[in-house]
Amino acid sequence: MDPDPRPEPAAFREFEIPEALAGERTDRAVSLLTGCSRAAAADAVASGGVLVDGEVERRVARRLAAGSVLGVGIDPLPEPGPLLGDPSVEFTVVHLDDDVVVVDKPAGLVVHPGPGHAGSTLVNGLVARFPELDPSHGPVVGDPDRPGLVHRLDRGTSGLLAVARTPRAYEGLVEQLAGHQVERVYTALVRGDPAHDRGVIDAPIGRSRRNPVRMTVTAEGRPARTHFEVEERFGDPGPLALLTCRLETGRTHQIRVHLHSIGHPVIGDDLYGPHRSVVEVERPFLHARELSFEHPVTGEVVRCTSPLPDDLERVLTDLRRRGAGTEG
């Protein structure tokens, strides 16, 4: 008798191993892809509740290849519950029509449910305000766990985010993002004095093997390009520089990782920046200020802007008051 018979397919959720997780241990990959704890992932592997390419895998330390299919038993890792609308979630709508909504996300608001964030996310607020996004009420718009989302912003980043209200709009926006046709412009304050007034950071980004919460520049990562231009330089308490950044691609933490990689981390970024900041700010000084795209249904150009939030504006006001600001 086969000691490790494959359980019924219906008892498993399947995940394809992305390039960013190539070489990861089986237990860590299970944890990252499902959101369960590392201990729960190890238990699932040891109990025969994990498949790799259709075969039971009991080795927690086996390194996985990109493209392999990971099957995870539903019993130890249950399907997420229903997506509930939360009308208490606050965000500003800057563009609205029958197919697309553009929101201005405040800093501190998580974009979609995940480990440790089961409710009160932007998606929960969107479902409350736009019931058609609820997967149980009609056609699913994109991923049922994060309906309507075509791109994301980190929790600490404020600014503009496009959301599709219909499947047609979703497909159109995703296609434009893949074709680098969506213009996304950010304002960032960074540590140090960039040697050049403008430049392009062209470096692939993948998940760090030392710390799976972090992303890093790595040859095994996905292509990523960030354009930057210095708008202002500060000497006190710097050196510091105010940058305009334009995304050509949209990898996880892209601007933060790229600027860190060239020695100019974003001020207030506890994950990639120095532990001690020279400026008092409660979150990364990063704001998505401009968003432009071709409307996926009408073909008209949609252009949205967002002013710098008060907390970041106060930082600039203080720097300029010191008399150290000069144009880049």
Q: How far apart are CA 76 and CA 36, in angstroms?
A: 9
Identify whether 284 is preceded by a cis peptide bond (ω within 30 of 0): no
CB 218 within 8 A of CB 271: no
Q: Which residues contact 36 (CB under 8 A, 6 or more apart)?
A: 30, 44, 76, 77, 115
In the chain, at which residue ranges do the beta strands (DSSP E only) sit?
12-16, 50-52, 55-56, 69-73, 92-96, 100-105, 158-164, 183-191, 198-202, 205-207, 215-217, 225-234, 240-247, 286-294, 301-305, 326-327
- Of 254, 300, 292, which Cα lies nearest the Cα of 162? 292
What tokens does 294 get?
């071709």
225 phi-psi bin (left φ>0, alpha ψ -120 to 50, beta other): beta
Active site residues: 154
